[in-house]
């Protein structure tokens, strides 16, 4: 069988009107944004571009990424840039470019969802200059397979993972996504197959410096869910999904710990990760932690 595909629809992608990163958002749009984000939709801004300077255009090449890295990453906390072969003379310009994207993405979330602003924690900024189509990857690292996000070395303890993406491709190519089943459907299918962690494993991983913080049962389940989804060839082939290509000059955001997604092709995208505590949500019952707790009948945080 082949995967069931349908056109992207309002339940999967919701178009929002904004032409500036920090522009005031109408009250009705704020209410829609909160509700749809927490329901698991992707918010799409077709006219919200991240404009590179003439000097920054030179970084639109896959050659800027180091050989074994698919992303150039920036840590706003200490200003470090990783995953690039840029020399000392250029890395400062790369950092400035990525800091500007981080600042603009933060302004967008603060304007779009003001209730999140106080609790929002800024994560890493990424620039993805490498074409994803045809790139070799292990099953677990293959983002061309439907998955929900969970980070091996960065446990969230239930905090939400929100990510903002912007396509800066100058060749007119879109970033092709597929959006899969709602999170609760995914969780119902896979949760019974997720094995419990070995006793003491969370402590050992943290003590060895392999995780930044200790994994909770929730973190363990989300990692296993991520891996099991990707490894299930039958599921990947048969599950219904929507296709959407995000064109150059557009921006989109969603909770990637909740939205089942795959990225099939595209090159030159910026991405900003944020973490949000459940207490800041309008309805934390919609969070993956609460969904998994309801399905398993036990606390996981």
Q: Which pLDDT does position 7 carry in this prediction?
A: 44
Distance CA 79, CA 274 (A): 17
Q: CA nearest 46: which of 20, 15, 87, 11?
A: 15
Q: Are 214 and 202 in contact (CB under 8 A)?
A: yes
Q: Band of the pLDDT at 268, cuts 50, 70, 90?
A: very high
Q: Per-domain residue ranges for the chain?
A: 5-296
Q: Are 143 and 263 in contact (CB under 8 A)?
A: yes
Q: Band of the pLDDT at 2, cuts 50, 70, 90?
A: very low
Q: Give 133-172 pLDDT, tens digit per residue.
A: 988 889 988 999 999 999 988 899 999 999 999 999 999 9
Q: Give 90-100 pLDDT, tens digit per residue.
A: 999 999 999 99
Gyration radius (Cα) of the chain, Å = 19
Ranges 5-9, 28-32, 118-122: which has the least confidence: 5-9
**Looking at the predicted structure, is the pLDDT value of residue 211 above 90?**
no
Distance CA 119, CA 27 (A): 20
Q: Which pLDDT does position 88 carry in this prediction?
A: 85
Q: In Å, how far are 63, 182, 219, 276 from 255, measured between CA atoms?
A: 30, 12, 16, 10
Q: Which pLDDT does position 136 carry in this prediction?
A: 81
Distance CA 177, CA 245 (A): 6
Give the pair of three-digit tokens for residue 216: 């909770």
Give the pair of three-digit tokens for residue 212: 């930044």
Q: Report the run of H or E that residue 293 belongs to, with start and end.
A: helix 288-296
Give the pair of three-digit tokens for residue 295: 């399905």
Q: Band of the pLDDT at 8, cuts 50, 70, 90?
A: very low
Position with higher pLDDT, 32 vs 143: 143
**Looking at the predicted structure, is the pLDDT value of residue 4 above 80?**
no
Q: CA nearest 112: which of 38, 18, 41?
A: 18
The rounded mean pLDDT for the chain is: 91
Position with higher pLDDT, 227 vs 8: 227
What pTM did the predictor assign?
0.93
Q: Which pLDDT does position 235 carry in this prediction?
A: 96
Ranges 2-6, 197-201, 243-247: which has the least confidence: 2-6
3-state class of 129 per DSSP?
coil
Beta pairing class for 241-246 and 121-128? unpaired
Q: Report the run of H or E that residue 93 belongs to, with start and end.
A: helix 88-112
What percent of the chain has a predicted confidence (pLDDT) above 90? 73
Q: Band of the pLDDT at 291, cuts 50, 70, 90?
A: very high
Give the pair of three-digit tokens for residue 4: 């069931």
Q: Are 201 and 111 in contact (CB under 8 A)?
A: no
For residues 88-109, average pLDDT: 95
Task: Return the CATH class of domain 5-296.
Answer: mainly beta
Beta pairing class for 42-45 and 269-276? unpaired
């Amino acid at each position: 069988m082949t995967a069931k595909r349908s056109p992207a629809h309002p339940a999967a992608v919701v178009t929002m009107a904004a032409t500036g990163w920090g522009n005031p958002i109408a009250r009705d749009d704020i209410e829609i944004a909160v509700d749809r984000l927490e329901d698991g939709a992707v918010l799409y801004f077709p006219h919200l571009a991240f404009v590179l300077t003439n000097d920054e255009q030179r970084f639109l090449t896959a050659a800027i990424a180091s050989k074994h890295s698919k992303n150039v990453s920036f840590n706003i906390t200490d200003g470090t840039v990783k995953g690039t072969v840029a020399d000392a003379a250029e890395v400062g310009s790369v950092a400035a470019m990525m800091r500007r994207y981080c600042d603009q993405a933060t302004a967008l979330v603060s304007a779009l969802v003001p209730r999140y602003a106080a609790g929002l924690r800024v994560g890493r900024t990424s620039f993805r200059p490498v074409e994803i189509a045809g790139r070799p990857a292990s099953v677990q690292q293959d983002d061309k397979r439907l998955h929900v996000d969970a980070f091996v070395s960065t446990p969230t303890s239930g905090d939400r993972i929100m990510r903002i993406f912007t396509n800066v491709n100058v060749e007119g190519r879109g970033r092709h996504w597929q959006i899969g089943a709602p999170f609760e459907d995914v969780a119902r299918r896979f949760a019974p197959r997720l094995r419990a962690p070995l006793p003491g494993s969370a402590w050992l991983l943290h003590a060895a410096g392999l995780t930044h913080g200790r994994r909770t049962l929730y973190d363990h389940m989300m990692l296993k869910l991520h891996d099991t989804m990707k490894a299930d060839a039958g599921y990947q082939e048969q599950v219904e999904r929507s296709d959407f290509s995000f064109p150059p000059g557009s921006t989109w955001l969603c909770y990637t710990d909740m939205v089942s997604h795959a990225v099939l092709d595209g090159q030159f995208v910026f991405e900003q990760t944020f973490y949000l505590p459940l207490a800041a949500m309008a309805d934390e019952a919609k969070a993956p932690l609460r969904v998994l707790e309801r399905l398993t009948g036990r606390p996981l945080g």
